Amino acid sequence: MTEWVEAKDLKGLLKNPQKIPHNKTWSELCQRIFDSKLEAERGEYLRMMEMAGEIKRLVYQPKWTLSQKPKLTYAADFFYCQGGRGIFEDCKGYLTRDSRTRILWAQAKLEIQVRLVTRVKGEWQWRTL
């Protein structure tokens, strides 16, 4: 199983350790830093699904420009293909007004559907806006 490394322990792994917020989480399995423990757990779950052949083309943090002026971007947490369909996911413990607006804007502009994923009593659950 993957060992969790807290932000305070990341200093030896990064070039500029002073810029690590406390909620960042390192994943040994994915070899990357995630924005939250929830996102790291979901990233590892999806990576294991990819290794098992259940999903394909797993991408972390796919990013789009929603507006040039003012410059606004949206980055989903994950993209992958399952059953011939592309799926975008965003892990949220709490949906802020800003993230809700950007997700709805991205869905309308890019004609995609974004799943909001969370974990309830150890089970992954998702919904759409």
User: pLDDT tens for residues 68-77?
Assistant: 988 888 999 9
CATH number of domain containing 84:
3.40.1350
**pLDDT value, residue 56:** 96
Report pLDDT for 72.
87
Look at the alpha carbons of 83, 87, 92, 95 in this order and tell me if their dihedral is positive or negative: negative
- Domain extent for 33: 4-128
**What is the Cα–Cα distance from 73 to 63, expressed in whole angstroms?**
7
User: 4-58: per-residue pLDDT in tens?
Assistant: 555 555 555 555 555 555 678 888 899 899 988 999 999 999 999 999 999 999 9
DSSP code at position 64: E
E strand or H helix at 128: strand 123-128
Give the containing element (helix H, strand E) for 87: strand 85-91
pLDDT score of 3:
52
Q: How many domains does the chain have?
A: 1
